[in-house]
Amino acid sequence: MRKSDSKFIETMKRDPAGLGRRLMTGVGLLTLASLILEHGLEFGPAVLGFLHWLESGLALCYVIDRVLLLWHEPRRLEVLRYGRYEYALLLVCIVLGISLILSHEWAMRLVGFLHLSASEDLFLGLLQLFLVGNVLIQILRLQQHILARRIRPEWTLIGSFALVVVVGSLLLLLPKACAVPEKPIRLVDALFTATSATCVTGLSVRDTGSAFSLFGQVVIMALIQVGGLGIVTFVAFLALTTSDSLPIIHRHIFRYAMSTRSMGDLKRHVGVVILFTALIELIGAACMYIFLPAHMDPLRRAFWSVFHSISAFCNAGFALQRNNLMNFQTQGGMMVTFMGLIILGGLGFLVVADLISIRVTRLPIIRRVPAVRRFNEQVPVYRLPLQTRLSLIVTAALLVLGVAGFWWLESGYLLQNKSVLARFWISAFQSVTCRTAGFNTVPMDQLQPATMVLLMGLMAVGACPVSTGGGIKTVTLGVLVLALRTVVRGRERVEVFGRALPQKVIFTALSIALLYVTTASVGTFALACFDPKIPLPNQAFEVISALSTVGLSTGITPQLSTGSKLVLCIAMFVGRVGPISLVLSVFQSSAKGRYQYPEEDLVVG
């Protein structure tokens, strides 16, 4: 980090010209408490009025703090760059507020669309959005300062997910998060739901659409988004876009959490992740909105589209219908939208970034244009890395295997009375969703045993590395198959596409597969002990679904005992943070051996 940047950031931390960092931390805590009290608990008009006045004063504190910093600091450009998101949020809210005042007709339309009682509620909502945005930015900056404590990256990754699970559980326990006051959310159910949402699994013990209120559903949607990308990703985006340089410890943690190939690619990779996620989820929500019935309430229609777009891209599998997506099993437009989001989320951001880097000028038709041909001769060809090529090949092979296998195994059962087109949509969707997402268009408890075995195999493989999905990952399967091919051929090194794989990669793939099998076996044994009356195949299916963060279920999840629910919570958490990260955080030693033992051969197999 440059000395000038370091000195400026230290000055911003002390903040002698503003209201003070400690004071603003108190303002943030008070803001958080006020919003939680208002939206999470039931109060009378008098208390609500007091909370609204309090929130107005807190918003004024944020405005004064920003103005004082900009007024007294001589390096105003540095202040704007460091606090670009705070100032952008303030500017957007001011513009929207002035627009609502000047255009009464537009304000009334928004009041009707949002089902508000008066225009004052619209300004109150804008005020609270301003407060929420500032609190979120404060939390991310606090997380960035915590990273400077030189905590090991594995602990940082695990701790961030654990913190999100705890916060989500507490929010879901609030009375207003429950849609049915007579059936409040129990602690174990709130913990299970928060873990499932944060680990983008989709297993649920309470129906998301009927058991949770709008506030509870928004909390679940936020947990899915944060869990899908990881809170460290948002911290990295804030840090990298508000500073020209960062301490090496920050860059090391960000690189580890996001699995970038080098420090130089870090900023570009984080930008691709955030922007690509926002763009794809926005396009997915727009497509879903179009395919939904036109007579549906516009606000509910928009929320349904956004919720399911985020759930699909993050491979979470949460749906607002009790029967999941069975109502759309033959609607081609909706199925293509869901499958596209699931596949893009499961490919992984490394693969997406590499695909974006491919020039369109290399396409067969375009490259024949004379000007394009001359351009291609001057610029070298971008070669897809081995990681991306192997990910795409294994993903395509598993999708084809899933479609053909499901169609063949269920042709005389669930698909017996379906048309050819309906069989294709059902088979294709189940092949896509069982890898990572967890949506379903058919009742899973009516599948044939052979089909369940096929789906468990696909769930165990899961998605690609550095994606929103779980499982042992497609690249791990590819490495294991290549290693087996090497043994059969009697060669010394694992080779593919003109490249040789290091031994470290082989050992890591074997370790992940072994840890996965061990964890799944222990989890199934634990469920058999806690709920012996449930059939063993259903228990194994549930554990693999949780460990692979898929979310498919044969319907036994609400019937499980508290012990079994906790076991699944652990399985979902381990599946999301990765078994290797979990093991390294516990067993990795800082001391490395400086000696080697002599080799001795063994007879295996």
pLDDT at position 379 = 56
pLDDT of residue 17: 46
What is the per-residue pLDDT for 434? Answer: 86
Phi/psi of residue 389, nearest 5 degrees: -65, -45
Using DSSP, state whether 500 is helix, strand or coil.
strand
Q: What CA–CA distance (Å, rounded) separates 400 from 204?
A: 29
DSSP state of 228: H
* Contact status, residue 100 vs residue 107, Cβ threshold 8 Å: yes
* N-to-C CA span, the chain: 54
Please list the helix, strand and coil fractions of the chain in percent, rounded to the nearest 5, in that order.
70, 0, 30
- Per-residue CA distances from 56 to 21, 39, 50, 159 (Å): 20, 16, 10, 34
Give CA–CA dist 81/77, Å, rounded: 6
Instruction: Give the tens place of pLDDT for each residue, 324-356.
Output: 888 888 888 899 999 999 988 888 777 877 777
How far from the centroid of its chain's Cα atoms is residue 109's Cα?
34
Q: In terms of pTM, does the model score above 0.85?
A: yes
Tokens describing residue 353: 């970034």
Q: Does residue 173 come out as left (phi exceeding 0), alpha (psi in the -120 to 50 range) or beta?
A: alpha
Helix runs in 103-213, H state only: 104-113, 119-147, 153-172, 187-198, 208-211
Alpha helices by DSSP H, listed for 15-149, are 21-40, 45-72, 76-82, 84-102, 104-113, 119-147
| Residue 66 amino acid letter | R
Tens of pLDDT, residues 169-185? 999 999 889 988 888 88
Residues of the chain with pLDDT under 70: 1-20, 147-154, 232, 236, 239-265, 357-369, 371-382, 579-595, 604-605
